[in-house]
Amino acid sequence: MIRTIVALLLWAATCASAAAAPQVTSPARGSSLRAEILDALRPEIERETRGPVQFVITTINVMGPWAYVDAKPQRPDGRPINWRATKYRRDYEADVFSGLVLALLLQKQDGSWIVVGTFIGPTDVAWYEWVDKYKLPEALFRSR
């Protein structure tokens, strides 16, 4: 009987904590949330790539006030970025550059998004740094 009560209490606690934890969602293509996140990221990546960009999204996740983006930037007409014309030239030519952009954003109270950090051209799982630094669950960074 005691085992049953303890098991029920543990189950109830697990359910309560799971219900309280924010869920990871992926904003739909064409949604205003997706556009807001990408529009907040775009100016920084345009500075880094020296021109206008659009993103080919691999992952875009939102959890509470946090957003994570894993994308490949390209020019709006579909042309690839000329990484040789950027400060990433050496890495690109040494074939230690992925051409991807990883970004972590935080939503401010007024609803706008701010870029907390980016990794451009990572060749490893760079987002682990954010898991530790901001105490975020790995689920935010996983492809869905």
Alpha-helical (H) ranges within the chain are: 2-20, 32-49, 89-93, 128-134
21 or 97: which carries more pLDDT confidence? 97
Does the pTM exceed 0.85? no
pLDDT tens for each residue of 25-55: 999 999 999 999 999 999 999 999 999 999 9
- pLDDT tens digits for range 6-23: 344 444 444 444 445 689
Give residues with Cβ within 8 angstroms of 13, minimum separation 6. Answer: none
- The confidence score (pLDDT) of residue 18 equals 46
Residue 48: C-alpha distances to residues 58, 68, 87, 89 (Å): 20, 19, 8, 12
In angstroms, the CA 94 to CA 82 distance is 15
Among 55, 46, 53, 66, smallest CA distance to 113 is for 66
Contact of 115 with 43, CB cutoff 8 Å: no
Domain range annotation of the chain: 24-141
Q: Which fold has domain 24-141?
A: Nuclear Transport Factor 2; Chain: A, (3.10.450)
Residue 14's CB is within 10 A of a number of other CB atoms, namely: 10
Paired residues of 67 in beta bridges: 62, 105
